Amino acid sequence: MTTPIATTESSNHQLILDFERMAHRSFELCMQALMKVDFYEGLLRRLAAGQSIADELPVVENMSFELVKLTVQRLKKQAELAANEAWELPNELKGSFVTTVRSAVTQGELIPQYDVKYVAETNVGKVQVAARNWRRNVTVEVQGGAEATKVAYGQMVFAGLQAS
């Protein structure tokens, strides 16, 4: 579920729970996209070495080498974009928060580290939600005043209700 649920819990606590749920889902989608990137990189290495990939992808057997290479490069690029786009909020929440995604690959690590900021400007102040991962651990932190957090959470609930 990607839409918030109205509750009597504190707004700060609910924001953390909702964003943790979305961050874990985003992380899994990101990992799926990165596995595709690795697959396409392997295909490109085989193509660069002059090997055929028709044993894995029989559909390319009758295609030209250049067309196969361009297609694999395009698919790799799409998977790379999907990895970053996985961290975007659902469409119904994009109007409430501005998303900034930064990633870095640490030497010796297989999984990139993502630092994602979601910022909501409310009429009573700014709320910033930070989602980070280290390896497979995802953490979420909310910064903002109590009133601003309450307003931001209310906007999320309202947006979720409108989308339903």
Predicted local distance difference test score (pLDDT) of residue 111: 86
Residue the block writes with tokens 């196969």: 68
Tell me the domain boundaries of the chain.
11-163
Q: What is the mean pLDDT of residues 136-148?
A: 91
Amino acid at 138: V
Predicted local distance difference test score (pLDDT) of residue 13: 85
- pLDDT tens, residue by residue, 39-98: 999 999 999 999 988 888 888 888 899 999 999 999 999 999 999 899 998 888 888 889
Chain CA centroid to CA 27, Å: 6
Predicted local distance difference test score (pLDDT) of residue 5: 55
Residues whose CB is less than 8 angstroms from the CB of residue 53 and which lie 6 or more positions away in sequence, other chains included: 43, 46, 47, 60, 68, 72
Predicted TM-score of the model (pTM): 0.81
Mean pLDDT, all residues of the chain:
87
- pLDDT tens, residue by residue, 6-46: 555 677 888 889 999 999 999 999 999 999 999 999 999 99
Beta carbons of 119 and 127 less than 8 angstroms apart? yes
DSSP letter assigned to residue 87: T
Question: Confidence class of residue 1 from pLDDT cuts 50, 70 and 90?
Answer: very low
**Alpha carbon of 26 to those of 29, 133, 139, 159: distances in Å?**
5, 11, 12, 19
Beta carbons of 6 and 157 less than 8 angstroms apart? yes
d(CA 114, CA 133): 6
Beta carbons of 88 and 33 less than 8 angstroms apart? no
| Per-residue pLDDT at 161 exceeds 80 | no
Residues whose CB is less than 8 angstroms from the CB of residue 134 and which lie 6 or more positions away in sequence, other chains included: 113
